[in-house]
Amino acid sequence: MTEAEWIECTDGNRMLRFLLQHPTGRKWRLFQCAWCRYVLADTLTYEPLLAAVETAERYTDRLVADDERQMVWEKMEKMAEEAMAEQDFERASVAADARDCVAVGSQQIVGLERKSPFQRPQYQCHLLRDIFGNPFRPVTVEQDWLASKDGLVPRLAKAIYDERAFEQMPELANALEEAGCNNEDLLGHCRQPGQHVRGCWVVDLLLGYK
C-alpha cells in the first residue's frame, strides 16, 4: 500500500492487513471500541453492550483487572450465542463486536478471523485513519509545544481524552500553533470535519500514548 492508497482507501480489511505489520494492542482495542460505539448509536442502545465497551476502554487504560475483563467477555459471548439461537442477528452481531473489543489484543485483528466474506463499512476506514494517522508520515512532538503556557497543550489533550471532548480539537490546534507547531498534518487533523474518537493519533501523540 502506498501513502496515496492509504489516504483514499475505502477497504477497511485492506487497511487492517497493512497495519498488521505494526501491531499495537491498545490501538486495536480502541478501534473496536469506537466501532462498537458507532454501531450502538446507529442501531440499538442496550446497556450491557455499552457497559462492555466501557470496560474494554477502561481495561485499555489499566483501570480494570483482567478477571473483570474476562467476566465481561463471557457475558458478551453468552449474549451473542443466545441472540443467534433466537435468530436475532442484529443483536448477535453487536454482541459479538462487544465481545471482541473486550478480548482483542496485539495478536488478534477484529473481524478478520471470522468467516469471509466480511466487508467493513467505509466508516471503519475513517476510524483507522483517525486512530493510526498516516503511517507513511510520522510526526515527532517537540518539547517546546508541551511546555508552552504552563503545559496548556498536554492539559487540553488530556481533557479531550478523558472527557471525550473532541469538539475541542480546533482549540487544541490553536494552542499548538501558539506553542510554535507548524506541522500541517497535525494541525489539519485537529481541524478537519468529521468525528474523532478515543485513540485519535494526535491526542495520543501529545500524551505519549502508544
pLDDT in tens, 39-60: 777 655 577 888 888 998 998 8
Note the pLDDT tens digit of each residue in 137-196: 999 999 999 998 899 999 999 999 999 999 999 999 999 999 999 999 999 999 988 889
Query: What's the pLDDT at 60?
Result: 87
In degrees rounded to 5, what are phi and psi of residue 26? -65, -45
Q: In Å, what is the CA distance from 122 to each residue of 1, 14, 98, 127, 128?
A: 17, 12, 20, 9, 10
Cell 487497511 belongs to residue: 15
Query: What's the pLDDT at 170?
Result: 96
Calculated CA dihedral for residues 152, 191, 199, 79, nearest 10 degrees: 130
Note the pLDDT tens digit of each residue in 80-116: 999 999 998 888 888 888 888 888 643 444 444 443 3
**Residues 6+ away with beta carbon under 8 Å from 197:** 30, 34, 37, 127, 130, 131, 166
Note the pLDDT tens digit of each residue in 115-138: 333 445 788 899 999 999 999 999
Cell 501513502 belongs to residue: 3
- Split at pLDDT 50, 70, 90, the class of 205 is very high
SS3 sequence of 122-150: HHHHHHHHHHHCCCCCCCCCCHHHHHHHH
Among 73, 81, 25, which residue's Cα sits nearest to residue 49? Answer: 73
- Position 13 pLDDT exceeds 90: no
Q: What is the pTM of this model?
A: 0.83
Query: What's the pLDDT at 187?
Result: 96
Among 208, 167, 206, 173, which residue's Cα sits nearest to residue 189? Answer: 173
Cell 483482567 belongs to residue: 66
- What mean pLDDT do residues 69-86 have? 92
Say if residues 52 and 101 touch (Cβ distance below 8 Å): yes
Return the top range by mean pLDDT from 9-23, 36-50, 58-72, 171-185. Answer: 171-185
In degrees rounded to 5, what are phi and psi of residue 118? -125, 100
Among 162, 29, 43, which residue's Cα sits nearest to residue 98? Answer: 29
